[in-house]
């Protein structure tokens, strides 16, 4: 049997991190077994703007490398892949269910049904629809319609016996038919509901394994009933645990951002992203830009394979030690029987750790390519920046090394691109390193003269130069190096100082030191 899995998002305008995890597992399972991964759009409930609301989802999946064999933009033999375009199939299924007596037209008015529900609740009994307005015969239907009633179509569910779902993740799960309701499968206006559509499509698209989030587990009986009533063979089911909130077991939701922001790590993750986004002129409204949405990571400059790695381990593991996986490694080793049953909470710190680790493996030149767009969008370099600029970027990226955790972090080194007379100084650092110490300015001025005389301006020579200076002046390295750093980069922190000096070049270094010295004098006088 060919493995065919599907991910069926509805066009909501964004790709949720939990949704992606589900998609990832479906995709991995299909790829692992040489099967097909199908993308189907559940837009039974949407009216307009499906394309606009779908684009971010498609782009997110593409960015992550989760490619689909059939679906929007990919074609396929079992299309169309939009549920809104498959109404005739659903109608045929409804007709068949009606004809075989597995479904009936129900003429109850909503308030009548509601009354029954409330009565049952009051009596502390489980609600079981009386089927009073069930139109079983043509006569019944005519009679109800004469009263001005409209019909929905309901499943005529079994009211006794049990069923067992042989779930690939959770094992056998038993349900009582008596607890099930006569679910609506077609509205009065003729449109069909999700469960019917889903079952019909899964069958029509030859889905072999229905892999989805746990919240669908209790929906499965009605879907099995539909499938069996239609004479379909059943797919295998696998219900994945959901992705939970940071530090909790509650399902992660886009709507509870305020709550997540109380989590320090989550807040930091967002803040870091916002800092980058602002620098490159992106809108950072929480609604559309936050760590629950996959877009966030793409914009800030995370690596798709890091996100994939992290997400895969959220609910799945290979063994007791392997943690670093490239997508192809995951494909080679993924299996449903090693999927965990318990929900896994989203941990921003661990995600970050995976990102750092994957970033470490990216070759320098590739990192430069990744980083350039950020410098361009921040207007630090021209869009058509030529060789010399790229060369400088390359030097910076090399010097910064693992300090660049995400591509956007390159903006921490914006000072290398600003004009010497526009450099902004961290006032705290400036005070500490240049004002508080009465010797600092004097030493800096002295060192400046040495710099001015220097022939070689590479990191190694500069290193030597400073050490000679320290020896000659009978001072400690710390007494001069920090002052120079602040004077030249404006900051107290950064990568190796000699790299910084070399990258800036003699002229810039001298100009910046002069400016810093002038600032010291100015304020001291």
Partner RNA sequence: GGCCCCGUCGUCUAACCAGGUUAGGACACAGGCCUUUCAAGCCUGCAACACGGGUUCAAAUCCCGUCGGGGUCACCA
Active site residues: 254
Radius of gyration of the chain (CA): 32
Provide the minimum distance between the beta carbon of 124 and RNA in the complex, in angstroms, as a whole number: 7
Q: Are 155 and 97 in contact (CB under 8 A)?
A: yes
SS (H, E, C) 354-374: HHHHHHHCCCHHHHHHHHHHH
Sign of the dihedral through C-alpha 287, 291, 295, 301? positive
Q: Are 192 and 94 in contact (CB under 8 A)?
A: yes
Nearest to 179 by CA among 113, 126, 123, 121: 126
CB closer to RNA, 170 vs 506: 170
- Read off the DSSP letter of residue 485: H
CB closer to RNA, 249 vs 278: 249
**Residue 75: φ, ψ to 5°:** 70, -155
Provide the minimum distance between the beta carbon of 281 and RNA in the complex, in angstroms, as a whole number: 26
Provide the minimum distance between the beta carbon of 129 and RNA in the complex, in angstroms, as a whole number: 9
Provide the minimum distance between the beta carbon of 248 and RNA in the complex, in angstroms, as a whole number: 7
Provide the minimum distance between the beta carbon of 364 and RNA in the complex, in angstroms, as a whole number: 15
Provide the minimum distance between the beta carbon of 139 and RNA in the complex, in angstroms, as a whole number: 21
- Cβ-Cβ contacts under 8 Å for 238 (sequence gap 6 or more): 29, 167, 168, 169, 209, 210, 211, 212, 336, 339
CB closer to RNA, 378 vs 497: 497
CA atoms in the 13 A half-sphere facing the CB of 142: 3
Residue with tokens 């960015």: 63
CB closer to RNA, 290 vs 489: 489
CB closer to RNA, 373 vs 496: 496
Provide the minimum distance between the beta carbon of 451 and RNA in the complex, in angstroms, as a whole number: 14
Q: Are 299 and 289 in contact (CB under 8 A)?
A: yes
Q: Are 183 and 155 in contact (CB under 8 A)?
A: yes
**Please, is 410 exposed, middle or buried when counting C-beta atoms within 10 Å of its C-beta (0-12, 13-18, 19+)?**
buried
**Inter-residue long-range contacts of 155-161, CB under 8 Å, 24+ positions, other chains counted:** 155/97, 155/102, 155/103, 155/182, 155/183, 155/184, 155/185, 155/222, 155/225, 155/226, 155/229, 156/101, 156/102, 156/103, 156/104, 156/182, 157/181, 157/182, 157/183, 157/222, 157/225, 158/225, 159/128
Provide the minimum distance between the beta carbon of 290 and RNA in the complex, in angstroms, as a whole number: 19
* 3-state DSSP assignment of residue 325: coil
Alpha-carbon distance of 285 to 278, in angstroms, equals 11
CB closer to RNA, 14 vs 316: 316
Neighbours of 309 (CB within 10 A): 22
Q: Which helix (H) or strand (E) holds 243?
A: strand 243-244
CB closer to RNA, 304 vs 490: 490
CB closer to RNA, 319 vs 525: 319
Provide the minimum distance between the beta carbon of 158 and RNA in the complex, in angstroms, as a whole number: 14
CB closer to RNA, 78 vs 127: 127
Structure tokens at 205: 């698209």
Q: How many residues does the chain have?
A: 525
Alpha-carbon distance of 102 to 79, in angstroms, equals 27
């Amino acid at each position: 049997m060919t493995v065919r899995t599907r991910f069926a998002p509805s066009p909501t305008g964004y790709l949720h991190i939990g949704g992606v995890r589900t998609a990832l597992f479906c995709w991995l399972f299909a790829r692992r077994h040489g099967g097909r991964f199908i993308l189907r759009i559940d837009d039974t409930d949407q009216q307009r703007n499906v394309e606009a609301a779908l684009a971010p989802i498609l782009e997110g999946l593409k960015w992550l490398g989760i490619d689909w064999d059939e679906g929007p933009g990919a074609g396929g033999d079992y299309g169309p892949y939009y549920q809104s375009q498959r109404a005739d199939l659903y109608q045929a299924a409804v007709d068949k269910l009606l004809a075989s007596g597995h479904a009936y037209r129900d003429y109850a008015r909503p308030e009548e049904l509601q009354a029954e529900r409330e009565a049952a609740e009051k009596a502390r009994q489980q609600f079981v629809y009386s089927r009073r307005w069930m139109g079983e015969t043509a006569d019944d239907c005519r009679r109800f319609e004469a009263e001005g009633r409209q019909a929905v179509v309901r499943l005529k569910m079994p009211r006794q016996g049990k069923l067992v779902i042989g779930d690939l993740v959770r094992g056998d799960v038993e349900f009582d038919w008596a607890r099930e309701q006569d679910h609506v499968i077609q509205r009065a206006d003729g449109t069909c509901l999700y469960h019917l559509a889903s079952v019909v499509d899964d069958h029509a698209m030859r889905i072999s394994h229905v892999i989805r989030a746990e919240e669908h587990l209790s929906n499965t009986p009605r879907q099995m009933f539909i499938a069996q009533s239609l004479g379909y063979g059943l797919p295998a089911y696998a219900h994945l645990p959901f992705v939970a909130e940071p530090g909790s077991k509650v399902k992660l939701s886009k709507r509870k951002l305020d709550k997540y922001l109380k989590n320090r790590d989550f807040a930091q993750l967002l803040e870091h992203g916002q800092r980058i986004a602002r620098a490159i002129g992106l809108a950072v409204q929480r609604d559309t830009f936050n760590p629950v949405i996959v877009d966030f990571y793409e914009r800030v400059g995370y690596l798709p394979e890091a996100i994939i790695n992290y997400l895969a381990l959220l609910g799945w593991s290979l063994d007791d030690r392997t943690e670093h996986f490239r997508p192809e490694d995951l494909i080679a080793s993924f299996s449903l029987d090693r999927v965990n049953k318990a929900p896994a909470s989203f941990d921003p710190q661990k995600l970050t750790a995976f990102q750092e680790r994957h970033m470490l493996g990216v070759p320098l030149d590739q990192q430069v390519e990744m980083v350039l767009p950020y410098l361009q969008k921040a207007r630090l370099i021209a869009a058509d920046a030529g060789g010399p600029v790229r060369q400088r970027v390359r030097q910076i990226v090399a010097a910064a090394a693992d300090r660049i955790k995400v591509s956007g972090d390159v903006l921490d080194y914006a000072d290398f691109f600003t004009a010497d007379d526009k450099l902004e100084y961290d006032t705290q650092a400036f005070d500490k390193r240049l004002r508080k110490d009465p010797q600092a300015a004097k030493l800096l001025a002295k060192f400046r003269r040495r710099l001015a005389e220097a022939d070689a301006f590479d990191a190694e020579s500069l290193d030597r130069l400073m050490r000679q200076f320290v020896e000659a002046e009978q001072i400690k390295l710390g007494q001069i190096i920090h002052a120079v750093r602040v004077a030249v980069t404006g900051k107290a922190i950064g990568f190796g100082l000699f790299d910084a000096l070399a990258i800036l070049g003699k002229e810039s270094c001298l100009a910046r030191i002069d400016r810093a010295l002038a600032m010291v004098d100015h304020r001291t006088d």
